[in-house]
Amino acid sequence: MAGCFTCAVSEADTSGARDDELRAFRSAAHALVESVVDHLAALPSRPVWQPIPDGLKSRLLDLPLPAQPATLDDLVAAMSGDVLPYAMGNGHPAFFGWVNTPPSLAGIIASLTAAAMNPSVVAGDHADVHLERTVVRWLAELVGFPHTPGGGLLTSGGSVATIVCFAGARGRALAAAGHDVRRDGLVGAPQLIAYVPAEAHSCVRRALELLGVGSGAMREVPLEGGRLDTATLCASIAADREGGAVPALLVGSAGTVNAGVIDPLEALADVASAEGLWFHVDGAYGAFGVLDTAIAARYRGMERADSLVLDPHKWLGVPVDAGCALVQRADDLRDAFSLIPPYLRQGTGAPVGTFAEYGLEQTRPFRALKTWATIAARGRSGIAAQVVRANELARELAALIESEPELELAAVPETSIVAFRTRPARCPPARLDDVNRALPEAVQARGRAFVTGTIFDGRETLRACILHPDTGSEHLATLVTEITEAARMLAAQVP
Ligand SMILES: Cc1ncc(COP(=O)(O)O)c(C=O)c1O
């Protein structure tokens, strides 16, 4: 990308107050870059995470509203001393918590550029708008999802992308039933039903609640050992129809949050198309796993989804926030969201509307630049290699767990999330759940590794999510040691 506008309008202003401000900005920004690089360089040798010292915590919480302006140098000093060192921990290669990655370096640079431009990415002939269209197409191409212009947009994350997709699904299902939800709300609307696997992320339920479908209208998708019980699902759909409800939505995960399991997407797609349901795939964590040829076949059916959610701020390492909603038919979103008041008229009548016509936000940040930069800095092959490596490490961790008598695997990893439990030798079985529940915090406080917990198969379970490009075998070994030592310590405590 190179070039500039052909017409210079005025000479650059090189004197006066603005010039002084920019000089101060240049110097403060250089100093900040030094701090940021020092921080990134020091990360691997520091604790993964430690509680913020009490004094600093109170200082941050009790900061008075400043009466007088601070200089940029003051702000850089505060950020470098009081903020940067006390991070969440996801920059460290021994961070295995939730689904959080370190930021890509390209994404950090792009974030500065995007902030310097500060556009509202809605419509118009400016670089940010065109780049978002390209980035959305790239994301679709990366995961093999069909794409036509308008068929997706960037969001703040997977949760909002899910709401965007479900608004499309709701509108389509109710329109087919002769109900105009945008005009009439849900008054007089038939009850929509959503079929959702038990392991679906909570954002699915939250979106259904928010859109007035209600969690009471969720039916569990019968999955036995990862296989779809099609007959039971179809019977449940038929019973709902007979009861006067409108079966509308079928959800599958391309990588569950608890154990990284890929649902039987092909079988789900078959039922959705046979029954006329909107098929939604949650690929927020796992969709990029399709780039690993060893498991790509497990994703078959994802490309048939009516909507697919991706989170570039997860496996790709785009700095938060960057989610993405992709849909087969752009008009499903435009029908749900398009509303152009006179004060926002812009390119009306264009075949592909403004971004605000396809989602929730009017003023939209320039998420595309950090996403573009992150993808461009690695290329498809670099991203694929990182995905393959993460999945390999997950299998390596699973093997370590299996060879450690005081640990047990909860599920064989399919992607880069490993669910497991501890069973310290001296721990009475009745206390195992308590020990597993308390373990993440105990491990986190020791500062050498970071892991989080969940409930899986009805039992307290640990889950290690491997997404950091620098994670290696040594970090897996540290995790196992930390878990076993902390578990023994907890087991030895009198309840
Ligand atoms: C499988 C899955 N879906 C959806 C989400 C929600 O995405 P976000 O946190 O970006 O809103 C997550 C977050 O971890 C997730 O793991």
Q: 210 CA distance to ligand 1 centroid (A)?
A: 17
Integer Cα distance of 247 and 176 in angstroms: 12
| pLDDT tens sequence across 373-430 | 999 999 999 999 999 999 999 999 999 999 999 999 999 999 999 999 999 998 999 9
Report, as an integer, the average pLDDT of 435-442.
Answer: 97
Whole-number pLDDT of residue 14: 58
Q: What is the DSSP letter of 262?
A: B
pLDDT band at 15 (very low <50, low <70, confident <90, very high): low
pLDDT tens across 455-490, in order?
Answer: 999 999 999 999 999 999 999 999 999 999 999 999
Span from the CA of 204 to the centroid of ligand 1 (angstroms): 9
Terminal C-alpha separation, the chain = 63
Task: Report the SS3 class of residue 469.
Answer: coil
Q: 282 vs 65, 144, 204, CA distance in Å? A: 42, 15, 9
CA atoms of 457 and 435, how far apart (whole Å) = 17
Cα 482 to chain centroid distance, Å, stands at 27
Query: Hey, whose CA ends up nearest to atom 7 of ligand 1?
Result: 158
Using alpha carbons only, what angle is made at residue 233 by residues 227 and 238, rounded to the nearest 5 degrees? 165
Q: Which of 210, 285, 324 has most ligand 1 atoms within 8 Å of CB, for mutation?
A: 285
State the Cα–Cα distance between residues 332 and 153, nearest whole angstrom. 13
Identify whether the C-beta of residue 419 lies closer than 8 Å to the C-beta of residue 454. Answer: yes
Ligand 1 centroid–CA 379 distance in Å is: 24
From the CA of 157, give the closest atom in ligand 1.
Answer: 10
Cα 1 to ligand 1 centre (Å): 32
> What is the CA(159)–ligand 1 centre distance, in A?
6
Q: State the pLDDT at residue 12.
A: 64
Residue whose tokens read 């406080």: 445
Q: Percent of the chain scored above 90 by pLDDT?
A: 94
Res 274: pLDDT: 98
Q: Which residue CA neighbors atom 5 of ligand 1 most closely?
A: 158
40: which residues sit within 8 A by CB, 6+ positions away?
A: 91, 105
Give the predicted TM-score (pTM) of the model. 0.97
Nearest atom in ligand 1 to 253's CA: 1
Q: Which residues have C-beta atoms less than 6 Å from ligand 1?
A: 99, 157-159, 201, 203, 253, 257, 282, 284-285, 311, 323
CB 316 within 8 Å of CB 106: no
- pLDDT score for 16: 87
